[in-house]
Amino acid sequence: MNHLYESLPTFAQNMACTWAGYVRARDRFSRHFYRMLREWQQTEMAPIESLLIYQRNRLDAMVRHAQETVPRYRELKGPSKEPDARRAIQETLAGIPILDKATYRDHFEEFLSTNIPAGRIRRSQTSGTTGTALPLAYTPEAIAEEYAAVWRMRARCGIGLRDRHLTFGGQVIVPFSQSGPPFWRENLYGRQTLFSVHHMTPRNLQLYVDEIFKQKAAYIMSYPSSLHLVARAMLETGRTLPAGRLKAIFTSSESLLAFQREAIEEAFSTRIWDRYGTSEFAVSMTACSEGLLHVDMEYCVVEVEVEEENEDYVRGPLLVTGLSNNATPFLRYRIGDIGTRLKGQCRCGRPGDVYLDVDGRNEDYVVTPDGRFIGRLDHIFKEQAEILEAQILQDSPESIEIIFVPSAEFNHTSEEALLREVRKRMGDQMHIDLKRVHSIPRERNGKFRAVKSRVGRLAL
Ligand SMILES: [Zn+2]
């Protein structure tokens, strides 16, 4: 947030948020957006064969574009000529080297396409909560297509572009030093109320809840962890939103943890529709009615480097290939997230690749004294009703610290149950420290991380 904004009175900050909302909307909801949204609403439920042909055509075009205009990919093999679309996609991908973040970061200029006019290229960088931020370049079409995938999901929930909504995100829209309400700002153009995620003390949260009850919004967009704090405040005081008030809640940007989903859906009396996407414009997965994540196959191809397999699923690091961003094609890019792909079809009827979950970054793993990587640790807290929020910290392979916010009911039995669950997953060698706290600090960008393991980060 810049100085000028900070010094403005609230009504002028609302005007600034409205202007920013207008600029954002103009970028996202272009003519290209509407065209792709219409097109993808058709392909979504089409038979898998035609979806694969569509995906193959987009992949072939991207590979040729990379070959012809991206210095780093000058030597790339051309797309497969195989008539069967599924096999052709596999063959084409097999001819492309896997791309690591470090390679991309160190040779960024070589990944830039030479035939996009400079005026059409937008620049930004990954948020870089950990590690180094990566430079990014993308086109207006990439933005429009990402939002086409997002809005296809929202349209399925009966949400329209002009519906009123509430958001809880990382932007600092209320000055940090402000100690009284309102802890939210208005984007009048976008019919949006933006809530600050940096002022959520127990006392202030009651004011947030009051405001949510007052608002006539159709949906909420949020980081799971921010809305979870609000949901807890609602459940603790028995003020849950009546069913039918909200049509949907959309989460993204962090792994949606089981205990967060449970509390949020109960407090707001509606369903969460999660989404997996990243700032590289290279992957998008959207939730279905079964709560699983479907790959938006028009927008990307996702492969799994299989590390674990059984009858039902394969699991491992994801390699993503973006089909939308011509400015810097990401081909077979090891994005740093780990996914579990179902082998069968989803019961919802939507064809194509479907994932049970996508785990956050590598450092979200705890390493045991004997060198095992343990992920999906949020499940430890799923059954622990007396724990409101928890985070696992690890600095050495021999020990972990669990910091947690206990409810009033937390007692000796709950502590034993917690330790039992941890031991189940990490064995008896690990030293475990439990620490009760009033709140768990967020990252600089307002995000919550369930596990922060320095060991996990260094090892992978
Ligand atoms: Zn499904």
The enclosing domain of 51 has a CATH number of: 3.40.50.12780
Sort strands 165-169 and 184-187 into parallel, antiparallel or unpaired: unpaired
**What distance in angstroms lies between residue 117's CA and the mean position of ligand 1's atoms?**
39
Residue 203: pLDDT band (50, 70, 90) is: confident
**What distance in angstroms lies between residue 349's CA and the mean position of ligand 1's atoms?**
6
Nearest Cα to 283, choosing from 331, 244, 235, 215?
Answer: 331
Distance separating alpha carbons of residues 60 and 220, to the nearest angstrom: 37
Q: Does the pLDDT value for residue 91 go beyond 80? A: yes
State how many domains the chain has.
2
**What distance in angstroms lies between residue 302's CA and the mean position of ligand 1's atoms?**
16
**What distance in angstroms lies between residue 203's CA and the mean position of ligand 1's atoms?**
40
Q: Is 376 left (phi over 0), alpha (psi -120 to 50) or beta?
A: left
Tell me which of 316, 334, 360 is where a domain ends: 360
Least confident of 169-183, 268-282, 378-392: 378-392
Least confident of 137-141, 236-240, 287-291, 357-361: 357-361
pLDDT tens by residue, 236-292:
999 999 999 999 999 988 788 888 899 999 999 999 999 999 889 999 999 999 999
**What distance in angstroms lies between residue 350's CA and the mean position of ligand 1's atoms?**
6
Residue 460: pLDDT band (50, 70, 90) is: very low
**What distance in angstroms lies between residue 289's CA and the mean position of ligand 1's atoms?**
6
- In this structure, are 237 and 159 located in the same domain? yes
- In this structure, are 353 and 372 located in the same domain? no
- In this structure, are 338 and 412 located in the same domain? no
Print the domain residue range for 412: 364-459
| The amino acid at 155 | A
Share the mean pLDDT of the chain.
90
Of 82-91, 125-134, 198-207, the range with the highest mean pLDDT is 82-91
**What distance in angstroms lies between residue 231's CA and the mean position of ligand 1's atoms?**
26
Tell me which of 332, 360, 388 is where a domain ends: 360
Indicate the pTM of the whole model. 0.83
Q: What CATH number has the domain bearing residue 399?
A: 3.30.300.30
Least confident of 4-8, 107-111, 367-371: 367-371
**What distance in angstroms lies between residue 287's CA and the mean position of ligand 1's atoms?**
7
**What distance in angstroms lies between residue 345's CA and the mean position of ligand 1's atoms?**
8
Residue 45: pLDDT band (50, 70, 90) is: confident
Token code pair at residue 50: 């035609």
**What distance in angstroms lies between residue 353's CA and the mean position of ligand 1's atoms?**
9
Tell me which of 341, 360, 379 is where a domain ends: 360
Q: Are 122 and 137 in contact (CB under 8 A)?
A: yes
Query: What's the alpha-carbon Rg for the chain, to the nearest Å?
Result: 23
